[in-house]
């Protein structure tokens, strides 16, 4: 199953590809040493989860549902954190989900595509709609996470000033907003130079986490007993209601776990697994143990145990280092938002947006201006509205746990229907994941009135946009197909009756069948045809990349007409002139200055005529029409030469 993407139309919402459990896909990431890739992964992949110690333990005790700072609760919370990192990150993501690579790529949309095609090939079409919906919900929740992460991370680091220099507390908000504005302002310049520093800075940061934690553990080694899961069980037996509510804060220790899968294409499964098991996980665990050891000796340190672990003279440098780490964590999620947006556009769930490539060497380094400035505005509104990382923490967990729960559901389908694991083993594993993730999501649901409503609101809006665009484009294709002329009839009656002029014309078509509207309109108004006419359809396959040699398919239709189908991956750049330049099978090489591109621009009219129902409410049709009007220029998106493009307009009632 594949997706058709052109100016005239767009794909349906079913995306898919074959699944293959296993290791890294060849060519999925740069050909560098495993150690180099692991260091890069530490900088990019683990930035978000690496900054969790700034607020996770603190929020468990003084958050929306405060706990008594005594040994029973300290041991219980710490035990929950350790086993959460073990079950959710190590077992679920590192050992299971990272094996679900879609030709080397990961993430919600890639997983959705991976499962969908295999199910389609096996005839299990009844699952496709559910899988697509889950993938879109997870994507929508990611956008909510992308807004909250910079706000809570930067605020939590800058709040260290309240510990290091109490007199500077009034400057926390202005400094945080300044850092956030600066971070988004530099996005258009690319992140290649800054990215080279990410790994080393985060390695230093993780080592500092371990050193600070180790010093505290040495002073209260009894804290190591908390690794026994019986302390977590005892916590629930001691106070079941508070223990359940505490899960909403405990899960903050694994925020960013989804990045392990989403960024797999950049570094590969082995590098990410190595970085987690040998660096990030041990350092995070030692730091949480250290914070807990400090609380055992000084319960009053619960105000900010992370910064109070450090000697007074080193607290200000620690604030600077933590701020750098939060900037890196924010950069990773911002870049992720650009990548997810590009995938959604290619798969037909978003209209064309202006996308700028910030590196001549790395195709994955892109900048999406609209997404950038929308994120900035919403992040600043969050900071000004909530004013503290503690208040924001209430809004944080719902998006993270929602995404994790959806991933667990999709993993269940993957293991049973695609990988064909024994049903008992796959069912038990999936049940464990669903119980754990479901418990965390249910706990976070109690925080909806305290701020959890925000990511749900953002996700709801994003889901509405994604589904409206996909449904609207499907309706457009159906309406265009109704008015389309079969190619066989056209070739039998038209070419020999009109004048042919020198040169080549390329008409973008919605599908690989029928006559594109632009061709009919050109013939109607100009009464001529070029000597060579190419009807070009761009198809987005449900794989990340398609090799250049395998992209184009050519069919000679006779009378100087050719049908060309260009197949791209959902992470490939849609450069149609470059694809055309590689071809000589359609009547010889293409000369750019002798080739004219014809585009059809439809003006949509929302209809409420009886019998003309589209399946969408009239107001939703109007919103879709507005998106079509404001979509990015097709010339820019497809990299067409501006002086060789002719647009022909028409009205289309939906």
- 456 and 604: one domain? no
Pick the more confident residue, 483 or 282. Answer: 282
The pLDDT of residue 509 is 83
Domain end: 468, 501, 535, which one? 468
Residue 388: its pLDDT value, please? 85
3-state secondary structure 248-271: HHHHHHHCCCHHHHHCHHHHCHHH
* pLDDT at position 649 over 80: no
Bridge partners of 645, per DSSP, are: 597
Q: What percent of the chain has pLDDT over 90?
A: 39
Domain count, the chain: 2
Alpha-carbon gap, residue 456 to 50, rounded angstroms: 24
pLDDT (average), residues 27-44:
71
- Cα distances from 89 to residues 119, 269, 445, in angstroms, run 27, 13, 21
Question: What are the phi and psi torsion angles at 225 (to 5°)?
Answer: -65, -20
- Output the six-digit token pair for 28: 């999925």
CA distance 56 to 392: 12
3-state secondary structure of 447: coil
Q: Above 90 in pLDDT, residue 298?
A: yes
In the structure, what pLDDT confidence band is assigned to residue 231 with cuts at 50, 70 and 90? very high
Is a pLDDT exceeding 90 seen at residue 223? yes
In three-state secondary structure terms, 601 is strand
For residue 276, pLDDT over 90 is answered with yes
Residue 134 CA, distance from chain mean position: 13
Task: Give, as one character, the DSSP assignment of residue 64.
Answer: S
In a domain, 85, yes or no: yes
Counting residues of the chain whose pLDDT is more than 70, the rounded percentage is 89
CATH number at residue 50: 1.20.1740
Same domain, 282 and 374: yes
Mean pLDDT of the region 473-478: 84
Sign of the four-CA dihedral 441, 446, 452, 453: positive
Residue 230 and residue 305 share a domain: yes
Q: Are residues 461 and 519 in the same domain?
A: no
Q: Compute CA distances 334 → 95, 341, 374, 405, whole Å.
A: 26, 11, 11, 22
Q: Residue 210: its pLDDT value, please?
A: 97
Mean per-residue pLDDT over the chain, rounded: 84
Residue 608's pLDDT is: 60
Residue 369 CB: number of other CB atoms within 10 A?
15
Query: Going by DSSP bridges, is the β-strand pair 552-558/561-568 parallel, antiparallel, or unpaired?
Result: antiparallel
pLDDT (average), residues 215-233: 96
pLDDT at 482: 72
Assigned domain for 8 exists: no
Runs of H (alpha helix) within 387-532: 389-413, 423-445, 453-482, 487-493, 517-526
Is 90 exceeded by the pLDDT of residue 355? no
Answer yes or no: is pLDDT of 124 > 90.
no
Separation CA 466–CA 537 (nearest Å): 23
Distance CA 81, CA 85 (A): 6
Residue 640 shares a structural domain with residue 506: yes
Q: In this structure, is residue 162 part of a structural domain?
A: yes
Q: How much is the pLDDT for 440?
A: 94
Q: For residue 562, which phi and psi values (nearest 5 degrees)? A: -135, 140
C-alpha pair distances (Å), 68 with each of 221, 225, 390, 455: 21, 19, 17, 29
DSSP string, 238-251: H-HHHHHHHHHHHG
Asked whether residue 543 is assigned to any structural domain, the reply reads yes
Confidence of residue 8 (pLDDT cuts 50, 70, 90): very low
Residue 379 to residue 149: CA distance in whole angstroms: 9
The per-residue pLDDT for 121 is 64
Residue 580 and residue 457 share a domain: no
Domain assignment present for residue 407? The answer is yes
Lowest mean pLDDT among 175-189, 420-434, 520-534, 596-610: 596-610
| Average pLDDT of the segment spanning 479-496 | 77
Question: Are 454 and 494 within one domain?
Answer: no
Q: Could you tell me if 205 and 303 lie in one domain?
A: yes
Q: Please check whether residue 638 is in contact with residue 576, taking contact to mean a CB–CB distance below 8 angstroms.
A: yes
Average pLDDT over residues 136-149: 90
Q: Which two tokens stand for residue 415?
A: 């293991």
Q: Which of 22-31, 226-235, 517-526 has the lowest mean pLDDT?
A: 22-31
**∠ CA(545), CA(549), CA(551), 5° rounding?**
55
In a domain, residue 100? The reply is yes
Most confident residue range from 11-25, 255-269, 497-511: 497-511
**pLDDT greater at residue 337 or residue 373:** 373
436, 468, 500 - which closes a domain: 468
pLDDT at position 190 over 50: yes
Most confident of 117-121, 344-348, 378-382, 568-572: 378-382
Cα–Cα distance list, 562 to 481, 508, 644 (Å): 20, 12, 19
What is the mean pLDDT of the segment spanning 140-156?
89
- Read off the pLDDT band of 202 (50, 70, 90): very high
Contact 510, 4 (CB under 8 A): yes
Both 386 and 517 in a single domain? no
Q: How confident is the model at residue 80 (pLDDT cuts 50, 70, 90)?
A: very high
Does an H or E element contain 19, and which? none
Q: Is residue 134 part of a domain?
A: yes
Q: Residue 496: which residues within 8 A CB-CB, separation 6 or more?
A: 559
**Residue 557 domain-assigned?**
yes
How far apart (Å, rounded) are the C-alpha atoms in residues 383 and 392?
Answer: 8
Residue where the block lists tokens 């909806």: 448
d(CA 140, CA 564): 34
Better pLDDT: 30 or 351: 351
Query: Domain limits at 617?
Result: 483-653
Per-residue three-class SS string for 57-72: HHHHHHCCCCCCCCHH
pLDDT band at 266 (very low <50, low <70, confident <90, very high): confident
Q: Same structural domain for residues 49 and 149?
A: yes
Per DSSP, the chain holds a count of helices (H) and strands (E) of 26, 9
Same domain, 534 and 635: yes
pLDDT tens profile 497-543: 888 899 999 998 877 777 888 888 888 888 889 999 999 998 888 77
Same domain, 622 and 551: yes
Rounded CA separation 153/109 (Å)? 25
And the tokens for 432? 């464990």
DSSP element (H, E) containing 43: helix 34-44
Cα-trace Rg, the chain: 27
């Amino acid at each position: 199953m594949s997706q058709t993407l052109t100016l005239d139309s767009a794909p349906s919402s079913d995306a898919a590809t074959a699944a293959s459990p296993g290791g890294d896909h060849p060519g999925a990431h740069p050909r560098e040493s495993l150690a180099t890739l692991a260091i890069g992964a530490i900088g990019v992949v683990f930035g978000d989860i690496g900054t969790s110690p700034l607020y996770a333990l603190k929020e468990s005790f003084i958050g929306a549902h405060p706990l008594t700072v005594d040994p029973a609760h300290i041991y219980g919370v710490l035990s929950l954190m350790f086993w959460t990192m073990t079950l959710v990150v190590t077992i679920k993501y590192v050992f299971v989900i990272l094996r679900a690579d879609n030709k080397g790529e990961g993430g919600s949309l890639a997983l959705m595509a991976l499962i969908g095609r295999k199910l389609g090939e096996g005839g299990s079409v009844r699952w496709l709609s559910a899988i697509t919906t889950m993938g879109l919900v997870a994507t929508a929740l990611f956008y909510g996470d992308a807004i909250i992460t910079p706000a809570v991370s930067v605020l939590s680091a800058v709040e260290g000033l309240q510990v290091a220099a109490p007199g500077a507390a009034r400057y926390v908000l202005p400094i945080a907003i300044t850092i956030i504005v600066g971070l988004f302002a530099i996005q258009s310049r690319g992140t290649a130079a800054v990215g080279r520093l990410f790994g080393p800075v985060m390695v230093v940061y993780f080592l500092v986490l371990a050193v600070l934690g180790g010093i505290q553990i040495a002073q209260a080694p009894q804290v190591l007993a908390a690794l026994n899961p019986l302390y977590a069980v005892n916590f629930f037996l001691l106070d079941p209601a508070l223990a359940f509510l505490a899960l909403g804060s405990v899960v903050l220790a694994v925020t960013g776990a989804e990045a392990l899968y989403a960024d797999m294409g950049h570094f590969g499964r082995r590098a990410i697994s190595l970085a987690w098991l040998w660096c990030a996980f041990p350092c995070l665990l030692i730091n949480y143990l250290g914070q807990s050891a400090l609380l055992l000796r000084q319960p009053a340190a619960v105000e900010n145990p992370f910064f109070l672990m450090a000697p007074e003279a080193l607290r200000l440098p620690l604030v600077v280092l933590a701020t750098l780490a939060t900037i890196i964590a924010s950069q990773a999620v911002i870049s992720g938002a650009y990548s997810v947006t590009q995938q959604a556009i290619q798969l037909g769930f978003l209209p064309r947006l202006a996308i700028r490539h910030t590196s001549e060497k790395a195709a994955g380094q892109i900048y999406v201006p609209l997404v950038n400035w929308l994120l900035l505005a919403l992040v600043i509104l969050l900071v000004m509205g909530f004013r503290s990382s503690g208040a924001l923490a209430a809004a944080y967990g719902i998006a993270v746990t929602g995404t994790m729960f959806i991933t667990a559901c999709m993993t269940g389908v993957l293991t049973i229907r695609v990988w064909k694991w024994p049903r008992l083993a796959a069912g038990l594993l999936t049940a464990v994941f669903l119980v754990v993730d479901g418990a965390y999501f249910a706990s976070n649901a109690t925080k909806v009135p305290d701020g959890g409503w925000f990511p749900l609101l953002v996700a709801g809006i994003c889901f509405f946009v994604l589904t409206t665009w996909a449904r609207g484009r499907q309706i457009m294709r159906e309406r265009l197909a109704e008015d389309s002329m079969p190619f066989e009839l056209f070739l039998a009656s038209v070419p020999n009756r009109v004048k042919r002029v020198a040169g080549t014309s390329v008409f973008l078509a919605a599908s690989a069948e029928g006559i594109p509207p632009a061709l009919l309109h050109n013939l109607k108004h100009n009464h001529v045809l070029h000597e060579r006419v190419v009807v070009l359809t761009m198809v987005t396959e449900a794989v990340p990349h398609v090799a250049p040699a395998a992209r184009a398919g050519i069919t000679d239709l006779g009378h100087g007409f050719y049908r060309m189908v260009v197949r791209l991956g959902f992470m490939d750049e849609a450069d149609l002139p470059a694809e055309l330049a590689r071809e000589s099978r359609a009547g010889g090489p293409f000369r750019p200055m002798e080739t004219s591109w014809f585009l059809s621009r439809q003006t949509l009219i929302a209809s409420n005529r009886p019998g003309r129902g589209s399946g969408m409410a009239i107001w939703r049709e109007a919103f879709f029409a507005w998106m079509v009007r404001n979509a990015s220029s097709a010339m820019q998106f497809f990299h067409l030469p501006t002086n060789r493009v002719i647009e022909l307009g028409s009205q289309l009632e939906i």
